[in-house]
């Protein structure tokens, strides 16, 4: 058994080589011998991406100094404060890569396993150790090679290091399995939606008899304009939903704002359960984002940048409408009619009212909603399981590194 008594606190520099990368310069851009190098954009937490790799000049001596070997760990030297020190193990055996000075390379010596060092570095990132030693400039934090090298590292016997890595690998395998399951369920969900709305050719100009304009199926209303509120008489303070609250498929009420309105305005803009909320503007690909209001807050209003669609429930299920708006056919319509300005895209109420919407029998609509809802429930269960696994992993790392949980080593 290994306990906290086995831990030695050793400066990082004594456990491996710490080196900054080569600085990009005009001369290196123009040099004859160009070689690929990795930079911050390539190094993510626990993985390195090679799809967008730049090149600069490296002499044969510099390729020895700045070259990468399997088992090296690259850490973000310059990053936003919460991401400085983000790291991954370099494991590529093919090709020759160097690294830029926006990264720090840690090359472990025989006293430490790369996989164990990566566990510690991820722990330091999450717990704020890296952020605490970083130097902040205008918008970038710098880890600093010397400051990183001076950090006291929890050195354990090699067998204990390997056991910790094995335990965490088993949890990571469960995480990956759950992530795959979630991805499959999302694919099934998208397939169900695509199958249902594949005949809704809103772009081709030849709608079938099942397509009707939205304003013939629902009452489409705007929201309250802030600043244009009457100041006379009794005023009531009421919470309201803005674009930031209306996400794709759900409404977030974690951060709510309120406004003082007259009783008549409150009733005019008061939301009802099952109203479909649709965003008027925002980024180009987010216009028309929608969710069904569940009435969790009452009274609650909608701001003028959020449309309110109140379906005639005898012909159109609000959840079915929301699914259609998020489908490929629904998105095509919004992208076709959207008005783009310098940094904002938007739709108006006339365009929303004119949106062609498939209107099969209610039984068919509800069947689609139930099928997708069943997928959503399974996805929610899997995501909850994934969150529990990640929480368990975080707690286990804390306990293992602190010695609160003893590590059993085979043969020890």
pLDDT, tens digit, 9 for 90 and up, residues 368-394 = 899 888 888 999 999 999 989 888 888
Torsion of CA 350, 352, 358, 361, to 10 degrees: -90
Does residue 317 have a pLDDT over 70?
yes
pLDDT number for residue 235 = 86
Average pLDDT over residues 170-185: 91
Q: Which of 277, 270, 276 is nearest to 243 (CA)?
A: 277
pLDDT number for residue 229 = 54
pLDDT number for residue 208 = 40
Residue 16 sits at φ, ψ, to 5 deg, of 170, 175
171 contact partners, CB below 8 Å, separation of at least 6: 389, 392, 393, 396
pLDDT number for residue 149 = 97
Give me 308's structure tokens: 């309110």
pLDDT number for residue 404 = 66
- Which CATH code of 1.10.287.1120, 1.10.10.10, 3.40.50.1360, 3.40.50.1860 fits the domain covering 157-201+361-412? 1.10.287.1120
Distance from C-alpha of 361 to C-alpha of 283, rounded to nearest angstrom: 34
Location of each CATH 3.90.220.20 domain in the chain: 6-155, 211-359
Does residue 81 have a pLDDT over 60?
yes
Average pLDDT over residues 99-121: 95
Q: With beta carbons less than 8 A apart as the criterion, state whether 79 and 140 touch.
A: yes
Give me 133's structure tokens: 């030693």
Distance from C-alpha of 374 to C-alpha of 379, rounded to nearest angstrom: 9
Cis ω for the linkage preceding 164 (within 30 of 0): no
Band the pLDDT of 204: cuts 50, 70, 90: very low
Distance from C-alpha of 214 to C-alpha of 207, rounded to nearest angstrom: 13
- Which CATH code of 3.40.50.1110, 3.90.220.20, 3.20.20.70, 3.40.50.1000 fits the domain covering 211-359? 3.90.220.20
Q: Does domain 6-155 match CATH 3.30.565.10?
A: no
pLDDT number for residue 2 = 46
Q: With beta carbons less than 8 A apart as the criterion, state whether 88 and 43 touch.
A: yes
| DSSP-based helix, strand, coil % in the chain, nearest 5 | 40, 25, 35
Give me 204's structure tokens: 């081709």
Average pLDDT over residues 25-50: 90
pLDDT number for residue 93 = 67
The pTM of this model reads: 0.64
Distance from C-alpha of 241 to C-alpha of 258, rounded to nearest angstrom: 9
377 sits in the region (left: phi over 0; alpha: psi -120 to 50; else beta) called alpha
Average pLDDT over residues 199-227: 71
Average pLDDT over residues 134-139: 85
Average pLDDT over residues 39-52: 92
Distance from C-alpha of 157 to C-alpha of 230, rounded to nearest angstrom: 72
pLDDT number for residue 288 = 86
pLDDT number for residue 230 = 56
pLDDT number for residue 239 = 92
Location of each CATH 1.10.287.1120 domain in the chain: 157-201+361-412
């Amino acid at each position: 058994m290994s306990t906290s008594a086995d831990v030695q606190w050793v400066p990082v520099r004594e456990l491996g080589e710490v080196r900054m990368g080569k600085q990009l310069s005009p001369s290196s851009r123009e040099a004859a011998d160009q070689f690929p190098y990795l930079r911050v954009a390539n190094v993510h937490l626990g993985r390195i991406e090679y799809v967008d790799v730049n090149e600069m000049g490296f002499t044969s001596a510099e390729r020895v100094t700045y070259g990468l070997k399997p088992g090296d760990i690259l850490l973000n030297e310059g990053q936003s404060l919460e991401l400085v020190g983000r790291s991954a193990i370099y494991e590529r055996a093919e090709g020759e890569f160097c690294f830029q000075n926006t990264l720090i390379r840690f090359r472990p010596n025989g006293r430490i396993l790369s996989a164990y060092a990566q566990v510690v570095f991820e722990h330091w990132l999450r717990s704020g150790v890296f952020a605490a030693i970083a130097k902040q400039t205008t918008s970038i934090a710098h880890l600093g090679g010397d400051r990183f090298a001076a950090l006291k590292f929890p050195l354990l016997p090699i067998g204990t290091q390997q056991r910790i890595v094995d335990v965490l690998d088993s949890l990571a395998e469960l995480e990956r399995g759950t992530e795959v399951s979630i991805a499959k369920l999302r694919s099934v969900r998208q397939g169900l939606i695509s199958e249902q709305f594949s005949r809704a050719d809103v772009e081709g100009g030849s709608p079938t008899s099942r397509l009707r304009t939205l304003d013939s199926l629902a009452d489409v209303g705007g929201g309250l304009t802030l600043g244009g509120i009457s100041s006379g008489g009794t005023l009531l303070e009421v919470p309201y939903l803005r674009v930031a609250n209306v996400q794709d498929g759900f409404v977030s009420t974690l951060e709510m704002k309120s406004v003082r309105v007259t009783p008549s305005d409150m009733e005019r803009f008061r939301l009802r359960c099952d109203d479909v909320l649709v965003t008027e503007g925002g980024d180009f690909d987010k216009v028309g984002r929608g969710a069904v209001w569940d009435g969790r807050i009452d009274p609650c209003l909608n701001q003028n940048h959020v449309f309110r669609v109140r379906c005639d429930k005898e012909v159109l299920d609000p959840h079915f409408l929301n699914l259609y708006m998020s489908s490929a056919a629904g998105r095509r319509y919004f992208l076709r009619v959207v008005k783009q300005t310098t940094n904002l895209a938007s739709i108006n109420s006339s365009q929303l009212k004119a949106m062609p919407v498939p209107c099969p029998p209610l039984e068919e609509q509800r069947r689609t909603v139930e099928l997708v809802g069943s997928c959503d429930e399974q996805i929610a269960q899997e995501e909850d399981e994934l969150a529990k696994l990640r929480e368990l992993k975080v707690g286990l790392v804390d306990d293992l590194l602190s010695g609160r949980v003893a590590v059993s080593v085979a043969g020890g």
